[in-house]
Copies of this chain bind each other. A is one copy, B any other.
Amino acid sequence: MKFPEAVEELTEYFKLLPGIGRRGAERIVLAMLDWDESLLHSLGNAIADLPKNVGRCPECGAIAPAGKLCSICSDPRRDDSLLCVVETTTQLFAVEKGNSYRGKYLVLGGRISPLDGEDGSSLNIALLKERAARKETREVILALSSDVEGRATAAFLAELLSGLPVKLTRPALGLPAGANLSYADGATIAAAFSGRIDLQ
């Protein structure tokens, strides 16, 4: 027994997505076979039209309506003196969930990772330099992942921006809010203790 060719073809497309293997892709396609024709048409068109409707914000590199600023860069209430550097738009959303940062962003579009063939040439580094050099920018927060590649990228960017009259910072490492000390890993405990805060 073979799946019809159209099902096989669609399965191959969904297998391209991160975290979706053959079984998961098949499950998606089999579920779609139960959908109405009109729903499949709308979904198909929405996917085909993605490049027409969605682009990158020219000010920060985040996902934005095609040809437009993202909702943060176009918001006059955001503080232009703070620039938070993240790897992806998903990380930008994570920072926004903290509901405390009111500055602007720069989405790098990845991180430097020689093993994955990323030497930084496809990242928004020129845009970062330009934004960091603007006279209103006073602080650049390097909010990259705290794994090896994130730290290497942050070190590279810190070096790159070191000549500019901006303060360079990174978010604090430490115990997550509400965490029980018993379940924290060693690296987190070490960071929390070396960055301990004076209570007096």
Contacts and interface: CB of A to CB of B under 8 A. Distances in A.
Interface of A: 1-7, 9-10, 13, 16-20, 26-28, 30-33, 35, 37, 39-51, 53-54, 62-66, 70-72, 88-90, 92-93, 96
Contact of A3 (B28, B41, B63): B63
Contact of A54 (B6, B31, B44): B6
Nearest to A64: B4
Number of copies: 2
A2 B19 CA distance: 25
Nearest to A19: B27
Contact of A44 (B31, B47, B89): B47
Given A6-B46, A65-B5, A17 B13 contact: no
Contacts of A88: 30
B40 A51 contact: yes
A70 B4 CA distance: 8
Contact of A43 (B4, B13, B33, B90): B13
A78 to B, nearest CB: 10
Contacts of A37: 51
A162 to B, nearest CB: 29
